[in-house]
Amino acid sequence: MAEAFLLLTCYHFLLFRKFYFQNPYVYASSELLEQGFSSWVVLGRAYRKGALITDDTYYPDYHALPFLSSFYPPHAVTAWIATFLSLNHAWILYSFTMVAHFWLASVSVYILVTAMGTAPLTAGFASVTLSTLGYAMKQNSSIVYTCSWVPIWVLSCLMKSEWFSGISLGMMLLAGYWPLALPAIGVGCFIWLLH
């Protein structure tokens, strides 16, 4: 299995080579820059002050909007860390957090598919397909975070692990893209009942 993780990691670096090796600002466009990054910076500044966000300009009730991922631990911690960085370096950290979640999804899909009894080569293709689709999809941090936890949630339901299910379910919900999380919860519960 270690060889598979190494290959998936190499593929991840190959797929995201523009970000890692050429231009860390490659994703600085559209909604990610306008909504995702700016709200993440505001979140970090508020957490650094030890306060909840009061943003009257864009989101008056910031913490009530799940797609802003304000309570998702990796998002919140990196937002706080970013307050010690320049804006350019903060953007790189924000982008890296998203790109790292693609790797997490890739590895967790591989583990899930092999746990279901599929051959390692087929599991590798499933994992690579997810990574490739992730690369092509519209970049939005809450979607990426949620997608990375869906296979972990399904795996935890397949294993019938209560604590693992609780963690993965909580992280998937805190990630904030509920239109994907809610159907995934139903699939996971169905798998739990089946096994």
- Segment 79-124, tens digit of pLDDT: 999 999 999 999 999 999 998 998 999 999 999 999 988 888 889 8
Euclidean distance between CA atoms 57 and 54, whole angstroms? 9
Quote the Cα angle for 106-110-115, to 5°. Answer: 150
Query: Percent of the chain scored above 70 by pLDDT?
Result: 93
Which percentage of the chain shows pLDDT scores above 90? 51
Q: Is the pLDDT confidence value at 136 over 60?
A: no
**pLDDT the model gives residue 2:** 84
Return the pLDDT at 173.
96
Which is more confident, 191 or 31? 191
Range of the domain at 125: 2-194
Separation between Cα atoms, residue 158 and residue 142, nearest integer Å: 25
Q: Are 187 and 154 in contact (CB under 8 A)?
A: yes
Count: domains in the chain: 1
Q: What is the mean pLDDT of residues 38-57?
A: 83
Q: How confident is the model at residue 138 (pLDDT cuts 50, 70, 90)?
A: low
**In the predicted model, is pLDDT for residue 192 greater than 80?**
yes
Helices 141-159 + 178-194 axis angle, to 10: 10
| ∠ Cα 34 35 38 (to 5°) | 80
Task: Output the pLDDT for position 128.
Answer: 85
What integer pLDDT is reported at residue 112 of this predicted model?
92
Cα dihedral 93, 127, 15, 105 in deg (nearest 10): -10
Banded model confidence at residue 159, pLDDT cuts 50, 70, 90: very high
